[in-house]
Amino acid sequence: MKAPWNFLRFIPRAKRLLSAGRLPALLIAVSRKMSSPGERLAGIRETLGLLQGLCVAWWRGDYRAVSGQALISIVAGLLYFVSPLDAIPDWIPGAGLLDDLAVLGWVARTWASELEAFKRWRDAQSQSRQAALLDLEALPDKRNS
């Protein structure tokens, strides 16, 4: 399945963000956008939570069974989601999030097997460890290698 046309420009940005150690800042921005009022994100919250959780677990060094290509695509999808100026700017009422939802859906479908493997790993963890995947304030500044 071909990537959405405007998504591809976020791949190099994702690589730069990862190499610069800025993943926690992105995850906090995603969390802020997710918590905005309204039902606009109701259908994608679970997917966003899964993408975020995978990134948190990877950043902490708890989960490394994700391919580099999948991780970069996931980070690029999250960057696309928080970017207000993408194919359809977010400030356009009713339509601004449609492209974000399409890109996140594409990422989730393309990397479904990787996300399913992470979900199985996450679900096998203790409740406290699962809760830690949601605690963005406790993210270390530097990635555990």
Pair of tokens at residue 139: 């993210």
Say if residue 104's pLDDT is above 60.
yes
Say if residue 119's pLDDT is above 90.
yes
Instruction: For residue range 7-35, list pLDDT tens digits in order.
Output: 889 999 999 999 999 999 999 989 888 77
Say if residue 1's pLDDT is above 70.
no
Nearest to 100 by CA among 110, 108, 90: 90
Instruction: For residue range 47-90, list pLDDT tens digits in order.
Output: 999 999 999 999 999 999 999 999 999 999 999 998 876 556 55
If DSSP states are collapsed to H, E and C, what string results for 36-75? CCCCCCCCCHHHHHHHHHHHHHHHHCCCCCCCHHHHHHHH
Bigger pLDDT: 30 or 99? Answer: 30
Nearest to 122 by CA among 26, 61, 59, 50: 50
94 — pLDDT class (breaks 50, 70, 90): low
Nearest to 143 by CA among 56, 14, 13, 32: 56
38 — pLDDT class (breaks 50, 70, 90): low
Pair of tokens at residue 125: 């963890």
What average pLDDT score do residues 101-111 get? 91
